[in-house]
């Protein structure tokens, strides 16, 4: 049994194995319907319990389909209906019940500490479905999408991130170190990665550059990533923050600084950081990106269950 909390804690070899498995599985079920089960139903009889302390559309749907396609089932708990949130039941007791009734637990949370606390008490795998500091399932899936579209290992590509230093970028930074790809970050000085992340970058052999000018970051990029300027539960003055990012909007001009065949990716939901003529252009692959989460999450589940081929 293995947990999936942070890309940092997972070996390069296992991350690559997850992506390769997802590739094979996606091809193998080309003609199947959403709820048809993969050959061999590798997670038959298994229950994935999911809980979201923050909103979710894509992560919720993709994990549901992922476990179903592997032959198992999913149950989504509402945090406001558990004794954990209101009745004072401990994480330890809650974790014991989750472990007895379910086979894996996927948690989207407002607290990184809570993931670690659950991990301490669970005897089933826990998966981080987004936390304040990372969004690992998203980024692993995005690497899959980049390689699928570009038909090259990501280590041979220039990746740009134009946007806030948030959970998604943190996971992209870790991925850049794990998969050894060039990552140019374009972000206003005030919102550049914090000291902890900066030290992590410095202490690891990396190919990461940080620019306070979006054009420098986008120069000759194969892929431009962005995300909302204001994330969920981001307790900031929204108007002020959006103002800082005025020059970091993804528009046609910025896309033209990148390579001709550069693609645009965004985890969604979006805000005003990308213009509609880019978002709905041929270069934008955001719908394919969202759908791929099902395929990669299946392989993440199999990794957690020790059943990766």
Q: Which residues does the annotation mark as catalytic?
A: 108, 135, 138, 227, 267, 293
**What are 111's two structure tokens?**
């607290």
Which of ligand CP, ligand NVA, none sits in contact with 227, Cβ below 5 to 8 A by type?
Answer: ligand NVA
Cβ distance to ligand NVA smaller for residue 95 or 290: 290
Interacting partner of 228 out of ligand CP, ligand NVA, none (Cβ under 5 to 8 A depending on kind) = ligand NVA
CB 139 to ligand NVA: min, Å: 11
* Listed ranges 57-65, 110-118, 187-195, 211-219: which one lies at the site for ligand CP (CB under 6 A): 57-65
Q: Which residue is nearest to ligand NVA (CB)?
A: 231
- Residue from 103, 145, 167, 284 binding ligand NVA (CB under 6 A): 167
Alpha carbon of residue 204 to chain centroid: 21
**CA angle 81-129-88, nearest 5°?**
30
Q: How far is the CB of 167 from ligand NVA (least distance, A)?
A: 5
> What order of strands is seen across the sheet that includes strand 73-77?
73-77, 47-52, 104-108, 126-128
Q: Are strands 73-77 and 104-108 parallel, antiparallel or unpaired?
A: unpaired
Tell me if 303 sits within 8 A of 4, measured CB to CB: yes
Selected from 37, 268, 291, 308, the binder of ligand CP by CB under 6 A is 268
Closer by beta carbon to ligand NVA, 145 or else 167 = 167
Q: Does 270 bind ligand CP (CB under 6 A)?
A: no
Q: How far is the CB of 231 from ligand NVA (least distance, A)?
A: 3
Two tokens, residue 153: 């290992």
Q: Does 307 bind ligand CP (CB under 6 A)?
A: no
Taking residues 227 to 246 in sequence order and writing x for each that binds ligand NVA by CB under 6 A, - otherwise, the string is xx--xx--------------
Give the span between the Cα atoms of 274 and 250, in whole angstroms.
Answer: 5
**207 binds ligand CP per the rule CB under 6 A:** no
CA distance linking residue 138 with residue 154, whole number of Å: 16
130/109 Cα distance (integer angstroms): 6
C-beta separation of 10 from 3 below 8 A: no
Strand partners, 104: 48
Which is nearest to 278 in space by CA: 252, 249, 257, 248? 252
**3-state DSSP call for residue 131?**
coil
Q: Minimum distance from CB of 308 to ligand NVA (Å)?
A: 25
Kindly tell me the number of DSSP H helices and DSSP E strands found in the chain.
12, 9
- What end-to-end distance do the CA atoms of the chain give, in Å? 15
Output the smallest distance, CB 265 to ligand CP, in A. 11
The interface partner of residue 57, options being ligand CP, ligand NVA, none and the CB cut-off 5 to 8 Å by kind, is ligand CP
Of ligand NVA, ligand CP, none, which one does residue 1 interact with (CB within 5 to 8 Å by kind)?
none
Contact 230, 245 (CB under 8 A): no
Stretch that binds ligand CP, among 51-59, 86-94, 120-128, 242-250 (CB under 6 A): 51-59
The answer to whether 166 contacts ligand NVA (rule: CB under 6 A) is: yes
The residues that touch ligand NVA, with contacts defined as CB under 6 A, are 130, 135, 166-168, 227-228, 231-232, 267
Site for ligand CP, rule CB under 6 A: 56-59, 130, 138, 267-268
């Amino acid at each position: 049994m293995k947990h999936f909390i942070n890309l940092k804690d997972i070996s390069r070899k296992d991350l690559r194995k997850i992506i390769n498995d997802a590739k094979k599985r996606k091809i193998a079920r080309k003609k199947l319907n959403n709820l048809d089960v993969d050959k061999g139903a590798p997670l038959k009889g298994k229950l994935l319990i999911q809980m979201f302390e923050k909103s979710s559309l894509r992560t919720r749907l993709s994990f549901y389909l992922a476990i179903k396609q592997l032959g198992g089932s999913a149950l989504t708990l509402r945090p406001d209906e558990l004794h954990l949130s209101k009745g004072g039941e401990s994480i330890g007791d809650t974790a014991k019940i989750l472990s007895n009734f379910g086979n894996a637990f996927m948690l989207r949370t407002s607290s990184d500490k809570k993931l670690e606390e659950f991990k301490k008490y669970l005897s089933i795998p826990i998966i981080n479905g987004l936390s304040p500091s990372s969004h690992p399932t998203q980024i692993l899936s995005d690497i899959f999408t980049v390689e699928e579209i570009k038909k090259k290992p990501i280590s041979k590509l220039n990746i740009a991130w134009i946007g806030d230093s948030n959970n998604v970028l943190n996971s992209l930074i870790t991925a850049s170190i794990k998969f050894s790809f060039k990552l140019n970050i374009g972000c206003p000085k005030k919102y550049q990665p914090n000291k902890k992340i900066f030290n992590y970058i410095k202490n690891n052999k990396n190919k990461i550059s940080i620019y306070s000018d979006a054009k420098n970051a986008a120069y000759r990029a194969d892929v431009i990533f962005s995300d909302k300027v204001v994330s969920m539960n981001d307790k900031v003055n929204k108007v002020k923050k959006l103002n800082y990012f005025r020059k970091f909007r993804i528009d046609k001009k910025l896309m033209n600084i990148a390579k001709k065949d550069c693609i645009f990716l965004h985890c969604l939901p979006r805000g005003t950081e990308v213009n509609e003529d880019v978002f709905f252009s041929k270069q934008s692959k955001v719908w394919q990106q969202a759908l791929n989460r099902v395929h990669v999450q299946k392989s993440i589940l199999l990794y957690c269950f020790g059943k990766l081929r």
